[in-house]
Amino acid sequence: MEPEALAGKVRGPLPSAASTATSTDLGGAASPDRVPYGDSAPIRHIVCDAVSSTNSEALARARAGEAGPLWITARAQSAGRGRRGRAWVSQPGNLYATLLLPDPAPAELAAQLSFVGGLAVYDAILNFAADAPLPLALKWPNDVLLRGRKVAGILIEGEGTPLAVAIGIGINCLHHPDDTDYPATDLRAQGIPATPKALLPALSSALGRRVAQWDRGMRFASVRADWLARAHPAGSELRVRLGERELRGRFESLDDAGRLLLRLPDGSVEVITAGDVFEIDRPAPTSTT
């Protein structure tokens, strides 16, 4: 697997995460401690008052024998993280959630769940758009944009044999940071009254359907096609930051593994396995926050 390319990691044990957890009632058709999950039976949900990160909490529970599937959400995180170890600002009022999945696919395919998660977030947010068109878009490899600004991100991590995978999802509901690499926003600022409590059932339902569509990686081509239909169109001018260097070119597509294909000015195609993507007319900040 190309961990950084698809915003995922399969690695050794993480430190245990201390938390205070309680069951929660989200209403609807599910029982008090369960949320809907695609076309399957509802699955369990645990709320934590505070954790280091919901991914760390989920993987710690997997090491302790938790089989999943299980949702872990937190009102706050003390050490939330994004891709490549970056900090994720975790103010109360946003959705911080991780779905723990047992043995969802062979380890080399598990990072494709970043695309699965992105589609599910896109689907879930659309539920709150009423009848008005909502300018959502997916950005490679793991972000959801609203009116060109980042509103959500996904981090895939896993460990163990058989593999336990944590699909970490952060959605800005009430707050967003101002000093990030890519301009951010939140749902409230965009006129969308979606709270974490209301979002989770919609997200879980959508994610269950998208995981079933993916089918342990056997139908990634279908996921890839749906992702491309919701991303910047082919020919869009992009800049891609690769460590200390930067490339500019036009978005060509994704390859069969989900890597970004960038057509350079000389006509050649660069296969991008890891990097930060910006629109060509959007200045890329020099910070690495």
Q: And the tokens for 77?
A: 């995180």
Q: Which residues pair with 47 in a beta bridge?
A: 22, 73
**Coil vs helix vs strand at 20:** coil
Sign, CA dihedral 158-106-255-148, equals negative
DSSP 26-54: --TTS-TTEEEETTEEEEEEEEEEEES-H
Q: Which residue has the higher pLDDT, 80 or 31?
A: 80
In the chain, DSSP finds a helix count (H) and a strand count (E) of: 4, 15
Q: Is 38 left (phi over 0), alpha (psi -120 to 50) or beta?
A: left
Give, for 96, the enclosing helix (H) or strand (E).
strand 95-102
Which range among 4-8, 82-86, 156-160 shows the weakest confidence by mean pLDDT? 4-8
Which range among 38-47, 73-82, 84-93 shows the weakest confidence by mean pLDDT? 84-93
Domains of the chain with CATH codes? 8-230 (3.30.930.10), 237-279 (2.30.30.100)
CA distance 92 to 44: 22
CA distance 129 to 149: 17
Give 272's pLDDT tier (boundaries 50, 70, 90): very high
Sign, CA dihedral 30-171-245-10, equals negative
Exposed/middle/buried for 97, CB within 10 Å: 0-12, 13-18, 19+?
A: buried
87 pLDDT exceeds 60? no
64-77 confidence digits (pLDDT tens): 999 899 999 999 88
Sign, CA dihedral 113-162-32-55, equals negative
pLDDT at position 279 is: 79
231 pLDDT exceeds 90? yes
Comparing CA positions, the residue from 220, 222, 230, 277 lying closest to residue 249 is 277
Backbone angles phi, psi at 44, to 5 degrees: -70, 155
∠ CA 178-179-185, rounded to 5°: 35
